[in-house]
């Protein structure tokens, strides 16, 4: 053999590894089905007989009565038995937005499953409108603009998603959305700032380290193993008012919502150049959503939203002359400091595809200094994120449970790591669950379709149940992924 060829051996091996790593076949249709199936594993309340994730039984049936309302149902937002109205509403908005933009591309059966998943939480939301299941009903004196604003957005978006399938349901959702919005706007403020103080729940749920805890509704079922204090940044409630108004404007075509945006957008700083989109920050989502109106010249005075949406896209393009850039891991995953990184990847991926669609419909493009960006580039960027999550990454690992050859086995999820009541009829008392929590065995119940918090900034993932940030799945990670997968299942664009 030519010694030069031998010398180059490591190089050839590298190329080979690259080719192999990049040639795994990804079945987007399968991933789409699973991403929707996941929501059945998160169901709270009475489980219907057609439930497909069978290890999940009835739970939290005691919610509500002391409060003169029925608060059974809805979704647990993650791996602990907690239902948070705020994140559930955002999840619902994202599932509905997925159907609005990409529902027509879904196989009929999956469209039906997605509508069922949306209805499961939308039905809960018009009923709910409360913070603490036992005490804090939204009362006129308790501002909760961010929660009520997000509920308004969720119900309005759901009303659009259902319009052609169930007009009667769609109308009733719109009415409820409008009520939620009026409430949100009448008493400005955040529930995490006011309710906590008012009801004296400090210090248990209150500020430390410059963070403020948020109130979550708790369910203590027999699987309860430990108590958490949920911390997050002090909530900004302003963006949800514009977000809610934007969805109501789309759903109702009532001029007053567009006027509200035109009049209040600047004061509420919703059009700000904040390059984030998640359950607590709607800015990039608002900017993309309202850019459609600008691109179609349907409303005046919204140009700043389009400018901010463009700026947001430019931060994702490393070679752009943008003043700041969003980071990527060496393996190519969008990375932000903080909890559960894949929430950023899935929600930004969704926005990339939505913006690509809007730009395409209006033959638009984005100017990022020296780089001009069109829909095709946005889709390639989105595909890279989707492919990473499904297994094209340095670890060759799928971050969707039950998908691919290698996926997380020890997710932080009580329903998944504690034996099902169907296999273990005796009650598992409080604390007894820690045997399972501490065990190094794989979880007995596979939560098919769950996308976990994901790897850290060096693409590493340890598959450790105690590492909540990485190993816990949440409904708000999966919801935008449903829309992205619907797109690629229908249009598996090729690049490389």
Ligand X SMILES: *[C@@H]1O[C@H](CO)[C@@H](O)[C@H](O)[C@H]1NC(C)=O
Nearer to ligand X, 116 or 376 (CB): 116
Nearer to ligand X, 134 or 409 (CB): 134
What's the CA gap between 236 and 189, in Å, rounded?
9
What's the CA gap between 428 and 447, in Å, rounded?
20
Q: Does 435 bind ligand X (CB under 6 A)?
A: yes
Site string for ligand X, 109-138 (x = CB under 6 A): -----------------------x-xx---
Could you tell me which residues are beta bridge partners of residue 452? 473
Sole binder of ligand X in the list 29, 172, 304, 409 (CB under 6 A): 29
Q: Does 69 bind ligand X (CB under 6 A)?
A: no
Catalytic residue flag (residue 226): no
The CB-of-231 to ligand X minimum distance in angstroms stands at 14
Q: Does 59 bind ligand X (CB under 6 A)?
A: no
The CB-of-26 to ligand X minimum distance in angstroms stands at 10
Q: Which of residues 152-211 bind ligand X (CB under 6 A)?
A: 199, 201, 205
Q: Which of 224, 344, 412, 413 is catalytic?
A: 412
What's the CA gap between 483 and 102, in Å, rounded?
6
Q: Does 215 bind ligand X (CB under 6 A)?
A: yes
Q: Does 420 bind ligand X (CB under 6 A)?
A: no
The CB-of-274 to ligand X minimum distance in angstroms stands at 29
Q: Does 33 bind ligand X (CB under 6 A)?
A: yes
Could you tell me which residues are beta bridge partners of residue 59? 45
Helices (H), 85-190: 85-102, 108-128, 145-162, 167-186
The CB-of-218 to ligand X minimum distance in angstroms stands at 5
The helix/strand/coil state of 75 is strand
The CB-of-436 to ligand X minimum distance in angstroms stands at 9
DSSP secondary structure letters along 263-323: HHTTTTTTTS-----SSS--HHHHHHHHHHHHHTT-SSS-HHHHHHHHHHHHHT-TTS--S
Nearer to ligand X, 219 or 308 (CB): 219
Q: Specify the DSSP class assigned to residue 142.
A: S
The CB-of-408 to ligand X minimum distance in angstroms stands at 20
Q: Does 77 bind ligand X (CB under 6 A)?
A: no
Could you tell me which residues are beta bridge partners of residue 212? 232
Cα angle at 282 between 276 and 285, to 5 degrees? 80
What's the CA gap between 156 and 149, in Å, rounded?
11
Nearer to ligand X, 69 or 304 (CB): 69
Asked whether the beta carbons of 410 and 418 are under 8 A apart, the reply is: no
Please list the active-site residues: 412
**Which residues make up the interface to ligand X (CB under 6 A)?**
27, 29-30, 33, 132, 134-135, 199, 201, 205, 215-216, 218, 434-435, 438
């Amino acid at each position: 053999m030519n010694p030069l060829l031998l010398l180059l051996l490591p190089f050839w091996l590298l190329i080979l590894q690259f080719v192999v790593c990049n040639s795994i076949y990804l079945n987007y249709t399968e991933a789409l089905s699973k991403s929707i199936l996941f929501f059945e594993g998160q169901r709270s309340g009475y489980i219907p007989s057609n439930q497909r994730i069978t290890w999940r039984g009835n739970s939290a049936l005691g919610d509500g009565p002391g409060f003169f309302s029925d608060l059974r149902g809805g979704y647990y937002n993650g791996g602990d038995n907690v239902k948070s109205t705020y994140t559930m509403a955002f999840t619902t908005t994202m599932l509905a937005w997925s159907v609005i933009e990409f529902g027509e591309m879904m196989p009929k059966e999956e469209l039906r499953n997605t509508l069922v998943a949306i209805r499961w939480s939308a039905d809960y939301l018009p009923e709910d409108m409360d913070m603490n299941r036992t005490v804090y009903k939204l009362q006129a004196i308790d501002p909760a603009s961010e929660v009520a604003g997000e509920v308004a957005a969720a119900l309005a978006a759901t009303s659009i998603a259902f319009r052609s399938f169930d007009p009667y349901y769609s109308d009733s959702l719109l009415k409820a959305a409008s009520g939620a919005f009026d409430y949100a706007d009448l008493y400005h403020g955040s529930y995490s700032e006011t309710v906590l103080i008012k009801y004296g729940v400090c210090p248990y749920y209150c500020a430390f380290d410059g963070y403020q805890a948020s109130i979550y509704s708790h369910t203590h079922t027999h699987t309860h193993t430990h108590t958490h204090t949920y911390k997050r940044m002090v909530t900004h409630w302003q963006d949800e008012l514009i977000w809610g108004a934007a969805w109501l404007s789309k759903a109702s075509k009532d001029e007053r919502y567009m006027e509200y945006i035109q009049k209040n957008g600047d004061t509420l700083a919703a059009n700000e150049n904040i390059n984030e989109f998640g359950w607590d920050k709607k800015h990039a989502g608002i900017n993309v959503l309202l850019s459609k109106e600008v691109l179609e010249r349907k409303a005046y005075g919204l140009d700043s939203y389009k400018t901010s949406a463009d700026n947001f896209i430019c931060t994702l393009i490393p070679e752009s002359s943008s003043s700041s850039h969003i980071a990527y891991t060496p393996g190519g995953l969008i990375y932000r400091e903080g909890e559960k990184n894949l929430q950023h990847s899935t929600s930004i991926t969704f926005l990339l595809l939505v913006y690509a669609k809007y730009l395409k419909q209006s033959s638009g493009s984005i100017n990022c200094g020296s780089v001009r960006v069109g829909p095709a580039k946005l889709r390639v960027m989105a595909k890279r994120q989707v492919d990473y999550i499904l297994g094209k990454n340095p670890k060759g690992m799928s971050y969707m449970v039950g998908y691919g050859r290698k996926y997380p086995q020890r997710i932080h999820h009580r329903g998944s790591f504690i034996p099902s009541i169907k296999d273990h009829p005796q009650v598992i008392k409080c604390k007894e669950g820690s045997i399972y929590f501490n065990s190094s065995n794989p979880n007995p119940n596979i939560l098919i379709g769950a996308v976990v918090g994901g790897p850290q900034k060096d693409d590493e993932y340890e598959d450790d149940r105690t590492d909540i940030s990485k190993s816990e799945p949440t409904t708000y990670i999966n919801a935008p992924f449903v829309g992205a997968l619907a797109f690629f299942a229908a249009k598996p664009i090729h690049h490389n």
